[in-house]
């Protein structure tokens, strides 16, 4: 391995927050304003992600970002917002995203999914910036032509505080209640220990360049060492999604966070049973200039280096699972890589008991998040698996001795048709939801109700 092959990769960014607080709009704005402000090449669409190069960020953020101060190449945004996708996206036991934006509607403050997102960010130790969104809808907002938007607040006396100021200070207070030292980003000296709050509007775009500038500064100052990779090294990535693609069968949408993947490489992929060993048949990326979100048109590429999103076509990928690791076999034996993939999957294995509920979730990350939430609520788990609810799950849940444990908790999964029949004929109860805390709450209420009726 020569030093020359070492280089700094793009930090990977995820967007989290409560539903309707503006995650999708913010991502759209970042992509949209990058496109309208810059020339061709302002952004690059990847599979599942968008790369915004440093030049584009500095064009948008003006004096906030001087390209000469940075050697990181830009930012790669994961296109699917939400903590669900965030927890799915793991890399070597940690989070795949290096850094995150927590979006909070200033009018609405902390909501259950904000709390959940913070739990996950704290657990994974992911640095983040708070986008205090929708400032345009709050009385007290003085639109300014150019960011930074700081002049709208700084120096206002307490008596002159507007509703917006109140909301923003309340938000800072809520962050303090969660043991974060938080402040407006222009007052934060050390972003490693303090959370910067950026008032913004995903609708008008105000504050958006400031968010990019803060993210860029944060990564440059505190993450550079982690961004150093061997560009010729064996590629490592995480499966975002397993998708059927016409002409290719099951394919993997993958974010590559280390090394390089080439056509023809042997790869090991985490699966629902034994890891899959297969050979890369094709690497696909969206055609340049293909419109965002329009049915993707692909072109083949010979290789992809980190950090990037790519679609991998290869034989035998049916049993691959979202959230699972993908590793290229190069420089090491196949067995060694298989052992590593297994070890990574085993980290997520859930502590199961002899008596408890059955848990099904759509990805490894969400299964882990479910298991954590249940453990906190002191709900024992009999079995936990990734996948839709199958007849076997109903049978397993039916073996629980306690009535309250004859239960399946399904997170973001479907019930297979024959399992539906089994459920109807059994005394097993199903709770399904796509919000973890609601699922736990529903189950708790059910148990309470049952205890009351037995008294
Ligand atoms: P998500 O569920 O967090 O992804 O939220 P969306 O991005 O879908 O936004 C929810 C709603 O809020 C949509 O109707 C958006 O148009 C609106 N919205 C998002 N950001 C802003 C903003 O900054 N200002 C205003 N006025 N509306 C916004």
Q: How far apart (Å, rounded) are the C-alpha atoms in residues 368 and 364?
A: 6
Strand-pair category, 381-386 with 357-361? parallel
Assembly ipTM: 0.99
Atom of ligand 1 nearest to the CA of 137: 26
Choosing from 15, 16, 19, 20 the residue with most ligand 1 atoms within 8 A of its CB, the one to mutate for a pocket test is 20
Q: At what angle do helices 23-37 and 54-61 cross, to 10 degrees?
A: 90
Q: Is 21 annotated as a binding residue?
A: yes
| Residue 350 vs residues 168, 180, 320, 366, 373: alpha-carbon distances, Å | 39, 29, 19, 12, 12
Q: What ranges in 238-363 are assigned the alpha helix state H?
A: 334-346
Q: How far apart (Å, rounded) are the C-alpha atoms in residues 256 and 417?
A: 36
Q: Which residues of the chain have pLDDT under 50?
A: 1-3, 144-149, 151-152, 154-160, 293-294
pLDDT at 41: 65
pLDDT at 148: 43
Looking up tokens 């050979």 gives: 279
Q: Is 105 annotated as a binding residue?
A: no
Residues in the chain: 455
pLDDT at 455: 78
pLDDT at 5: 72
Whether residue 17 has its Cβ less than 6 Å from ligand 1: yes
pLDDT at 250: 94
Collapsing DSSP states into helix, strand and coil, what is residue 387?
coil
Looking up tokens 């709208």 gives: 152
pLDDT at 43: 85
- Whether the model clears a pTM of 0.90, i.e. scores above it, the answer is no
The answer to whether 127 and 191 have CB atoms below 8 angstroms apart is yes
Whether residue 19 has its Cβ less than 6 Å from ligand 1: yes
């Amino acid at each position: 391995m020569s030093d020359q092959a070492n280089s700094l990769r793009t930090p990977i960014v995820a967007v989290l927050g409560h539903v309707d607080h503006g995650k999708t709009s913010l991502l759209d704005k970042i992509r949209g304003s990058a496109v309208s402000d810059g020339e061709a090449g302002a952004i690059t669409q990847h599979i599942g992600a968008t790369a915004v190069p440093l030049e584009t960020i500095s064009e948008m953020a003006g004096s906030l970002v001087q390209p000469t101060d940075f050697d990181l190449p830009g930012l790669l945004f994961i296109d699917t917002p939400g903590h669900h996708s965030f927890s799915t996206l793991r890399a070597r036991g940690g989070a795949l995203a290096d850094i995150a934006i927590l979006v909070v509607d200033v009018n609405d403050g902390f909501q259950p999914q904000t709390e959940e997102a913070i739990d996950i960010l704290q657990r994974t130790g992911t640095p983040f910036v708070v986008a205090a969104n929708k400032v345009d809808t709050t009385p007290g907002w003085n639109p300014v032509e150019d960011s930074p938007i700081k002049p709208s607040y700084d120096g206002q006396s307490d008596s002159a505080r507007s509703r917006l100021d109140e909301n923003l200070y309340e938000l800072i207070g809520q962050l303090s209640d969660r043991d974060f030292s938080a402040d407006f980003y222009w007052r934060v000296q050390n972003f490693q220990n303090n959370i910067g709050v950026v008032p913004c509007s995903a609708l008008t775009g105000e504050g958006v360049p400031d968010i990019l500038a803060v993210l860029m500064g944060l990564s440059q100052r505190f993450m550079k060492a982690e961004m150093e990779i061997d560009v010729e090294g064996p590629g490592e990535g995480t499966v975002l999604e397993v998708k059927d693609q016409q002409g290719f069968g099951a394919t993997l949408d993958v974010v590559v966070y280390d090394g390089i993947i080439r056509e023809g490489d042997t790869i090991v992929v985490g699966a629902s049973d034994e890891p899959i060993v297969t050979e890369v048949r094709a690497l696909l990326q969206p055609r340049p200039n293909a419109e965002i979100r329009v049915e993707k048109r692909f072109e083949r590429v010979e290789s992809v280096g980190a950090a990037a999103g790519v679609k991998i076509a290869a034989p035998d990928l049916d049993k691959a699972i979202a959230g699972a690791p993908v590793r290229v076999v190069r420089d090491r034996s196949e067995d060694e890589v298989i052992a590593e993939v297994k070890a990574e999957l085993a980290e997520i294995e859930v502590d199961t008991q002899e008596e408890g509920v059955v848990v099904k979730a759509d990805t490894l990350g969400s299964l882990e998040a479910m298991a954590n939430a249940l453990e906190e609520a002191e709900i024992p788990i009999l079995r936990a698996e990734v996948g839709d609810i199958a007849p076997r799950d109903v049978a397993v849940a039916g073996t629980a001795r306690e009535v309250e444990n004859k239960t399946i908790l399904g997170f973001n999964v479907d019930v297979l048709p024959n399992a539906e029949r089994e459920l109807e004929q059994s005394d097993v109860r199903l709770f399904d939801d796509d919000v973890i805390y609601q699922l736990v709450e529903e189950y708790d209420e059910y148990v309470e109700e049952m205890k009351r009726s037995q008294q």
